[in-house]
Amino acid sequence: MKQSLQLKLSQQLTMTPQLQQAIKLLQLSTLDLQLEIQQALDSNPLLEMEEEFEDAETIALKSNSEGPLDNLEDAAAETPSGTDNWDSAIPEELPVDTQWDDLLPSASAPASPPSEDTIEFDYNQQGSAETTLQEHLLWQLNLTRWSEIDRMIGVTIIDYTDDNGRLTADLEEIHEVLVDEADIDFDEVVAVLHGLQQFEPTGVFAKDLQECLLLQLKQLPPDTLHRETAYLLLTRYMSQFGSGDYKQILRRARLNEDELKEAIGLIQTLDPNPGHTFYSASTEYAIPDVFVSKQQDRWVVELNPDIAPRLRINETYAGLIQRSDNSDQNNYLRDNLQEARWFLKSLLSRNETLMKVASKIVEHQRGFLEQGEIAMRPLILSEIAEQVDMHESTISRATTNKYMHTPRGVFELKYFFSSHVSNDDGSEHSSTAIRALIKRLVAEEDSRKPLSDAKIVTLLADEGITVARRTIAKYRDVLHIPPSNERKRLV
């Protein structure tokens, strides 16, 4: 094989460590950014918060009142005069092939893990522990005076109960599981189930919605008004009741409209998912990154000053750096000073990018701020990227997990970007605005004659919005609006 030398020209994009850090900070959420800043403060002695900075007079007062201390002014006086130019010794940019770990080994050294004696108790984790439905049912089972066999049956039935309180298997299947462990009759399983159905919350251990509502009706006081009528609806006319066919119910049950309306009202007070009382998802708090307010007929965008502490470089430590000193202590200070400067630059770049993007969003969605979702305009990431002269991926990072506080509530920046629907005349409408119109039309409809999807298409066409019926059905599902036959009411 013949060997030869060839010269080729090629272009390659390589990110410097500064750019990597800036991108990392830009895509962090507010809570993650606070953790990142705290880690930087803990690992870098050249970084400090301005609130913690004490001037020389305060230190002198402490020195006089508490005894002899090392005076920072004396330490600065011992520093050679040539160290005043420490800033010029730090390069502005690093080579593209530089890595943080190679450049700053001392500043990025991981902290030693805490010992068992110093581990702090996690109060947040302790406070988040809550009783589940299964634990609550087992607690009630342990309070009963049932036999060991009945307790075993009860534990098995509880294991086949989901978070809503419904049985996930038939009694025959549960009985087959129990027979493999002990000689248990099917009637005994039924008897234990009836006992479990008296537990709290009312309506648990039902096989379906109908049985769940009937269990709750049975436990109401016998003198409850319209209890018998509600029981009749759930037992004999469940299919008509579910489909909203009230005319057939009135005719076949020989009820008047007021009696039917009161019975339906009683049923609506029942809980279709009693197990949700013990279900709570983890709470997520949204901290706004920017505030938008109207001042003198102008919309003003401001950064949230509380999302990140104000940082600065510790001038005392920075003044101790000597240009010609190559000792380990001096190199340690110089490396940390370099990292601190780049960290502050990355934070400043993040804030500037966030302000530019938020300002353009407010300028574009001014109608939403003044009129609501109906006035939302279609907007895509490329439009903002072109206006602020940035790449579309940068806009995506700047709007992910970032929130804006407006007079209409707190919204993620991604919320203001939506697809559009084009009309025959070339105009465009935001999908968010169309969903808001559908929601308004349904809220204003006559409950006796709810609007069908085809009728909503006609009403939107009258307002100059051309939408297909299947699009209306899709948006209605997103808004959790049932079909017209399920929305039908007596009043």
Domains of the chain, first to last: 133-278 (no CATH), 290-416 (no CATH), 420-487 (1.10.10.60)
Please compute the mean of the pLDDT values over residues 457-465 and round it to a whole number: 86
The residue-averaged pLDDT of 386-406 equals: 90
pLDDT of the residue at 319: 83
- Residue 32 or 96, more confident: 32
Average pLDDT over the chain, rounded to an integer:
78
Calculate mean pLDDT across residues 71-100.
Answer: 44
**Of 336, 319, 340, 316, residue with least CA distance to 328:** 336
3-state helix, strand, coil in the chain (%, to 5): 55, 10, 40
When mean pLDDT is compared over 22-26, 128-132, 410-414, 415-419, the highest value belongs to 410-414
Is 291's pLDDT higher than 90? yes
pLDDT at 72 over 70: no
**Residue 406 reports pLDDT greater than 80:** yes
User: What pLDDT score does 324 carry?
Assistant: 66
Alpha helices (runs of H) in 197-327, residue ranges in sequence order: 209-218, 227-236, 238-243, 246-253, 257-268, 315-318
By three-state DSSP, how is residue 294 classified?
Answer: strand
The model's pTM is: 0.60
Amino acid 119 reads: I
Chain position carrying tokens 């609130």: 51
- pLDDT score, position 13: 62
pLDDT at 328: 82
Q: Which amino acid is at 458?
A: T
Name the pLDDT band for 363 (thresholds 50, 70, 90). very high
- Quickly state the pLDDT bin for 292 (edges 50, 70, 90): very high
Helix H, strand E, coil C: the string for 301-368 is: EEECCCCCCCEEECHHHHCCCCCCCCCHHHHHHHHHHHHHHHHHHHHHHHHHHHHHHHHHHHHHCHHH
Assess contact for 237 and 253: CB atoms under 8 A. yes
Burial status of residue 460 (CB atoms within 10 A of its CB: 0-12, 13-18, 19 or more): buried
- Per the model's pLDDT, the better-predicted residue between 125 and 276 turns out to be 276
Ranking 3-12, 97-106, 161-170 by mean pLDDT, the lowest is 97-106
What pLDDT shows up at residue 449? 84
Distance, CA of 438 to CA of 483 (rounded, Å) = 13
- Where is pLDDT greater, at 416 or 446? 416
| Partner residues linked to 313 by β-bridges | 47
User: What is the per-residue pLDDT for 119?
Assistant: 38
Handedness of CA 256, 257, 263, 264 (dihedral sign): positive
The Cα 467–Cα 143 span in angstroms is 60
Helix axes 186-196, 148-159, angle to 10 degrees: 70
Per-residue model confidence (pLDDT) at position 185: 86
Q: Dihedral sign for Cα 414, 416, 417, 419, please.
A: positive
Q: What is the mean pLDDT of residues 419-448?
A: 81
Does 135 have pLDDT greater than 60? yes
Higher pLDDT, 259 or 128: 259
Supply 481's token pair.
């609006």
pLDDT in tens, 144-203: 889 888 899 999 999 998 888 889 888 888 888 887 777 788 888 899 999 999 998 888
The SS3 assignment for 409 reads strand
Average pLDDT over residues 61-79: 39
User: Which residue type, as a one-letter code, is found at position 416?
Assistant: F
d(CA 169, CA 177): 11
Residue 392 near residue 381 (C-beta atoms within 8 A): yes
Confidence label for 283 from pLDDT (cuts 50, 70 and 90)? low
Q: How far is CA 209 from the centre of its chain?
A: 31
